[in-house]
């Protein structure tokens, strides 16, 4: 039995709800971005920069990035706990799973910090 120490919420129903909510946020973000590009056909750098200089777009983008991180973590945690088991890897599965989860967390944190720096950096 795999312990759920590194699960997002330690509850399958909560993880399911978080994934659905983050999917809706990401779908809305995609619609806004596709709509903006479609209605501003030949965009200049200044127009693109102007969009992302507005506070509402920075907040919406940060919400989308946080949604990506939460959505990805739940998915990657599920993959790790479903497929990195003793059945496939023998006695070293716990160490491999720990390495995998640390790698996923570090990657998501770097992605989040990078995005925040891009959004609110100089």
Read off the pLDDT of residues 75-109 as tens digits, 9 standing for 90 and up: 999 888 888 877 666 777 888 888 999 999 999 99
> What number of other Cβ atoms are within 10 A of residue 80's Cβ?
21
| CATH, domain range 12-120 | 1.20.1300.10
Token pair of 68 as six digits: 């990506």
Q: What gap in Å lies between CA 69 and CA 108, rounded to an integer? A: 6
- Contact by Cβ (8 Å): 18, 8: yes
38 versus 3: the higher-pLDDT residue is: 38
Q: What is the CA radius of gyration of the chain?
A: 18
Read off the pLDDT of residues 42-55 as tens digits, 9 standing for 90 and up: 889 999 999 999 99
């Amino acid at each position: 039995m795999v312990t759920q120490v590194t699960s997002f919420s330690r509850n399958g129903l909560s993880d399911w709800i978080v994934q659905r909510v983050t999917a809706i946020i990401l779908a809305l973000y995609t619609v806004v971005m596709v709509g903006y590009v479609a209605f501003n056909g030949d965009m200049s750098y200044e127009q693109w920069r102007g969009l992302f200089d507005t506070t509402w777009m920075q907040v919406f983008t940060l919400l989308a990035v946080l949604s990506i991180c939460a959505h990805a973590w739940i998915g990657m945690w599920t993959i790790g706990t479903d497929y990195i088991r003793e059945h496939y890897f023998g006695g070293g599965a716990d160490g491999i799973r720990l390495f995998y989860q640390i790698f996923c967390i570090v990657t998501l944190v770097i992605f989040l910090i990078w995005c925040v720096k891009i959004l609110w950096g100089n």
